[in-house]
Amino acid sequence: MATINGVNGVNGVNGNGHQAHHHHIGEERRKSCWYEEEIEENLRWCFALNSILHTGASQYQDITLLDTKPFGKTLIIDGKLQSAEIDEFIYHESLVHPALLHHPNPKTIFIMGGGEGSTAREILRHKTVEKVIMCDIDEEVVDFCKSYLDVNKEAFGDSRLHLVINDARAELESSKDSFDVIIGDLADPIEGGPCYQLYTKSFYESTVKPRLNAGGIFVTQAGPAGVFSHTQVFSCIYNTLKHVFQYVVPFSAHIPSYADTWGWVMASDAPFTAEVEEIDMRIKQRVKGENSFLDGKTFVSASTLCKAVRQTLAKETQVYTEKTAKFIYGHGAAHRALNA
């Protein structure tokens, strides 16, 4: 659930919640419009807005682009923040580079979802890559991001990128191609949202795995991975992939605009052997430009989970199936109020 309100009407969070010591600070705060997102039942996250840039809706999702004071431009889909200008590099570098760098020679990549274009942007920095298929079900989201996210203009125009508007499962099932890396850049498995079936054991087993080349790697975003929040879906996605692939590596990183640590899981039937020096060497040889977040040491750190999370992963027994789908907190459609 998300609301956008003038500061005196953000469901009880207002400019006078903490008395301003100086009159002019109080004035500033009263002028602000705020965006609020419900992260859990008893936890809400708000930030000050400069403006609401664009709003739209497709048959699947509500889309909003906000200009926020702390995080710059932010893309909101179905009342959940998807990416923020200031720190989306953490999410997208983590999603893309570990899988592509562990692969000896990644040429063909399939993105499930990824409509905003940032995942494609990071993939296309790899010199080995010859073909990227980006398959998103929601053309309006893709068009919206093409129009308004300047940072991805170059990626959308790259001749190696092939954009397909389809359900990822249907596309992979009908595809004659196979891929070196398949990337799940899907919305969280929210009840009523379009993505929850793409996190199940049967999907990984009978749709994803047959489309991977020998030595191929699958990686997916895997929801919140904080000390408490990792039990929502992260541990279950990890355990599900462990039932399908021989080698599975969970990793996580803090993303400020998400107000949490986020998780990814990488899986393959070939072992992940690249060490710190090898990863750094491959970055130097294969990746155009500089990473801001990810290098060899960062990946070692990201894949070293804290004790509490490791214990949960070791004990997790639930496998994600169509019958036992787990959903993280949220709603399929956002309810918004505009009373600036």
Please give the biggest Cα pair distance in the chain.
66
Closest among 62, 81, 63, 85 to 73, alpha carbons compared: 85
Q: Tell me, what DSSP letter sits at residue 208?
A: I
Burial state string for 92-109 with b = 16 or more CB within 10 A and e = fewer than 16: bbbbbbbbbbbbeebbbb
Please pick, among 78, 136, 180, 185, the residue that the annotation labels catalytic. 185
User: What is the Cα–Cα distance from 216 to 232, expressed in whole angstroms?
Assistant: 28
Question: Is 185 considered catalytic here?
Answer: yes
Please say whether the beta carbons of 148 and 189 come within 8 A.
Answer: no
Secondary structure of residue 75 in the 3-state scheme: strand
| Residue 84: how many other CB atoms lie within 10 Å | 23
Both tokens of 195, joined, read 């993505």
Active centre residues (catalytic): 185
